[in-house]
Structure 1
Amino acid sequence: MPVRHLLGRDGTQALTQLMQQQPLLAFDFDGTLAPIVMHPDEARVPVEVARQLEHLARRVPVAVITGRQVLDVRHRLGFAPTHIVGNHGAEDEFDGPDPGVVLTLKPFRERADRFEPLLSRVGASIEDKGASIAIHYRLAANPVEARAAIDELLSDLPAGVITEPGKRVVNVLVAGAPDKGDALARLCARYGTSAAFYAGDDTNDEPAFRRAAPGWVTARVGPRLDHSHAGFFLQEQAEMDEALRVMRQALGD
């Protein structure tokens, strides 16, 4: 079934009902809370969105579950969330990344170091985040050439290492490492809630959408995709502000 617009009648009704259950509110960062930008270092949550989240965090637990490292994303938020999970679910801000995950990536890390000059020449860059590695090519003048170089790097993966494509990025992960669905379930247990909201915009958000229990609300940010497991969609990141307003209104804030 095609997903429905979160700001339509069904979506606002679902949000209103969910907020009565004091849910966990969880969000991806890039493309969800913050607009996608050409230079990742420039990504920030818009001031008004941060203000809405700050108000919500006073009433219910608010979490950010991101592919970035925790220390990277924290200063980009503009508000203090209840909890941050980084590295696609594999790095908890209190517990840190699983040392076994970091160690499993060591052979690939060494291979990537050897490929770095080639990748640099085609406009790709390697971001080592400890519990995952991202290979970016958003700034490549020739994305096809850049992707070919990346594919060469990825042609011989060490045991236990997998890849996941994203928006002009390839994520290098450890098979079986906690994903965003695991993080969402873990946070619900930690904060003692049986209800949750999750919004994200990319492939690595699908585990969280799939993990959602009946009655939870999930939203894919961006063009509607019938194959997504999200229950609703937002047309673009700019609509997040209105969705947060609906949540606050449901709380009587």
Structure 2
Amino acid sequence: MKHFFCTEGEAALAELLRRQPLLAFDFDGTLAPIVARPEDARVAPAVSRRLARLAERWPVAVVTGRQLADVRERLGFAPGCIVGNHGAESLADPAAAERLARALDGARALLGAHEAALAAAGVTLEDKGQSLALHYRLARDRDRARAEIDALLARLGPELKVFGGKLVCNLMAATAPDKAGAVQALVTAAGAGGALFAGDDVNDEPVFAAAPPHWLTLKVGRDDPASRARFLLDSPAEMPMLLDRILALADAAG
């Protein structure tokens, strides 16, 4: 996996832009840097200004693990679409979102009953409606925190799915769509000729793996050499450079 800023990356971007693509981005670790307290995350003005300009020309979407209501105020611009909860929460189908939230009621009760023990281990339970997140970034003993989480999650049935993240465990209904399905649905709805998708975490890998060859997928960070993305960026700090390159190619094409 090569760094995006190379001859191949530039050529791939130029080719994709000729197809009038969807431009889609994860939030945490991609548009905004990872922070110790999730409530402190924001898109930097330098990034939001560029995204606002791009949204005037192409469909721009944010596809995030956060709730829609949570992420919207953190962007600093208005994308054409936001999909939350790892692909499970969309304004286009609120009834489906409600069903997926109710599917977690049993897990919600189990984790709520053990919230004190989780807190003692440094684990914070976040209920996002269509998903539950168990954060242990701030735990003093992360091994102990993960053991507490795993012991509880082992009591849940196959109707639920668990996947990791950066010092977080996520829990959703097994039938919930993932980010790959969400991005493909956005491409179809926009009538786009492809997609650029940038993400940094394991829940972005389904998009990378399912992307057709002409899509441009970008892994933010070097923590996973096995990532299925076509190219990488070193960190969210390179996002303004990527957006500037897209804008420059757009200006050159008139």
Gaps of 5+ in 2: none
Deviation beyond 2 Å, 4+ runs, structure 1: 93-100
Matched with 1:205 is: 204
Query: Equivalents in 2 of 1:247, 1:153: separation in Å?
Result: 45
Cα displacement (A) at 1:224: 5.9
Matched with 2:83 is: 85
Correspondences of 1:71-220 after superposition (within 5 Å): 71-96=69-94, 97-220=96-219
CA pair 40-206 structure 1, distance change in 2 beyond 3 A = same
8 Å Cα contact 2:158-2:174 kept in structure 1: no
Q: Deviations over 1:199-237 (max 9, x none)?
A: 000000011111211211000000063321101000111
8 Å Cα contact 1:102-1:130 kept in structure 2: yes
Secondary structure in 1 matching 2:61: strand
Greater mean deviation of Cα atoms: 91-100 or 78-87: 91-100
TM-score (norm 2): 0.96
8 Å Cα contact 1:107-1:158 kept in structure 2: no
Greater mean deviation of Cα atoms: 48-57 or 148-157: 148-157
Matched with 1:48 is: 46
Aligned residues: 251
Query: Equivalents in 2 of 1:112, 1:225: separation in Å?
Result: 30
Q: Deviations over 1:56-93 (max 9, x none)?
A: 00000000000000000000000000100000000013
Cα displacement (A) at 1:94: 3.6
Secondary structure in 2 matching 1:140: coil
Cα displacement (A) at 1:176: 2.6
Counterpart amino acid of residue 85 in structure 1: V
Greater mean deviation of Cα atoms: 88-97 or 192-201: 88-97
8 Å Cα contact 1:86-1:93 kept in structure 2: no
Secondary structure in 2 matching 1:209: helix
Query: Equivalents in 1 of 2:7, 2:172: separation in Å?
Result: 38
Query: Equivalents in 1 of 2:105, 2:224: separation in Å?
Result: 36
Query: Equivalents in 1 of 2:92, 2:137: separation in Å?
Result: 31
Query: Equivalents in 2 of 1:118, 1:241: separation in Å?
Result: 42
Cα displacement (A) at 1:99: 2.6
Secondary structure in 2 matching 1:251: helix
Matched with 1:14 is: 12
Matched with 1:26 is: 24
Cα displacement (A) at 1:15: 1.0
Q: Deviations over 1:181-210 (max 9, x none)?
A: 000010011111121100000000011111
Greater mean deviation of Cα atoms: 29-38 or 185-194: 185-194
8 Å Cα contact 2:111-2:152 kept in structure 1: yes
Cα displacement (A) at 1:130: 0.9
Query: Equivalents in 1 of 2:182, 2:209: separation in Å?
Result: 13
Counterpart amino acid of residue 41 in structure 2: A
Counterpart amino acid of residue 176 in structure 1: T
Greater mean deviation of Cα atoms: 83-92 or 5-14: 5-14
Query: Equivalents in 2 of 1:172, 1:119: separation in Å?
Result: 15
CA pair 224-136 structure 1, distance change in 2 beyond 3 A = closer
Matched with 1:243 is: 242
Counterpart amino acid of residue 207 in structure 1: P
Counterpart amino acid of residue 57 in structure 2: R
Query: Equivalents in 1 of 2:81, 2:173: separation in Å?
Result: 23
Secondary structure in 1 matching 2:251: coil
CA pair 224-122 structure 1, distance change in 2 beyond 3 A = closer
Greater mean deviation of Cα atoms: 34-43 or 173-182: 173-182
Gaps of 5+ in 1: none
Counterpart amino acid of residue 238 in structure 2: E
Secondary structure in 2 matching 1:92: coil
